[in-house]
Chain A
Amino acid sequence: MTVYAPRHVDIWPWTNWKANTYTTPTRGLNSGALGFAFIGCVHTTPINSYMAWDVALDSGTWTLTIIYPKYTDQGIITPSLGGSNLTAYDSRSSLSYNNVYKATGITVATPGVYELRLTSTGTSGTQYVCTVQLITLTRTGA
């Protein structure tokens, strides 16, 4: 049987996770949020908290898309794939849903299982909350 590695991966992050060190991971609902739902945590979560998922990926070039809310208690989030950090994004702002982060040109040298991790590496305010609605990995080239 020929088995093909995935070339499109959707992660509904509030369903479950490989690891989540944020303080009190919390599933939330909002009718204005794409997907209606998100995973978050409590206000007092510490810096360097992270959540992670294992994803099976084909080799090639990939784009990571994260749809997320912004809020005043949120931190600077650094995504990483297979241990390699990607460009960070600041999720601290007044409340808004459906913000889009994209990291393009991610190289996956060999098909395999990789850990996707979101880590609160800093803040432009005082808190480190991370909240996410949907994560998508899309293969864009060989």
Chain B
Amino acid sequence: MDLPRRVEIVPWGNPKVTTTGSLRQQSSSYLSGGNGGFATASGQYTTFEVLLDSGTWTLTVIYMRGTNGGQTAITLGGAAVGNVEHYNNNSLLNQVIEFSGISVASPGWYDLTITCTGKNASSTNYFCQYHFLALRRTGA
């Protein structure tokens, strides 16, 4: 049997666990029509459990930046994947960042965790807003 080679996560859906406050926001201006994963303090996090085949993977993150944005760190199975800056001095929707070369040694379930790590000194809050997350396998 073959495991999925693509995993798509709607962040305003139902995470495995979240310690953030308000989790959802709707707008037709957002890719996927929504936002998920707000944080209001450093250390808050949201986790999605994903089933992955072994190999090399790329994570695509579609997210929002604004004057109230925080900073997040993304981990997969406890290993660092990358960081996302959500602050900007004006609102930017549907931003795309890709993290490639993520190594998965063996097939199985992994926690994809987004943790608020702080904020830019100019930011008014810690909001860490995501429109969509997608994992795709790029190699063996």
Contacts and interface: CB of A to CB of B under 8 A. Distances in A.
Interface residues of B, number: 24
A112 to B, nearest CB: 5
19 contacts: A3-B3, A9-B4, A9-B6, A12-B8, A12-B32, A15-B8, A15-B62, A29-B30, A30-B28, A31-B28, A35-B33, A36-B33, A37-B32, A54-B5, A54-B136, A54-B137, A56-B2, A56-B5, A111-B2
B4 A6 contact: yes
Interface string A30-62: 110001110000000000000001111010000
Given A14-B31, A15-B62, A31-B28, A112 B134 contact: no
Given A11-B6, A16-B58, A54-B6, A3 B31 contact: no
Contact of B1 (A5, A18, A31): A5
Interface of B: 1-6, 8, 28-33, 58, 60, 62, 94, 96, 98, 107, 132, 134, 136-137
A58 B87 CA distance: 43
Given A12-B132, A54-B136, A113 B5 contact: yes
A29 B94 contact: yes
Given A3-B3, A10-B8, A15-B62, A27 B94 contact: yes
Contacts, number: 68
Interface residues of A, number: 28
A29 B4 contact: no
A15 B29 CA distance: 15
B31 A4 contact: no
A5 B51 CA distance: 11
A53 B6 CA distance: 8
B28 A36 contact: yes
A55 B5 contact: yes
Interface string A101-124: 000000000011100000000000
A44 to B, nearest CB: 23
A16 B61 CA distance: 10
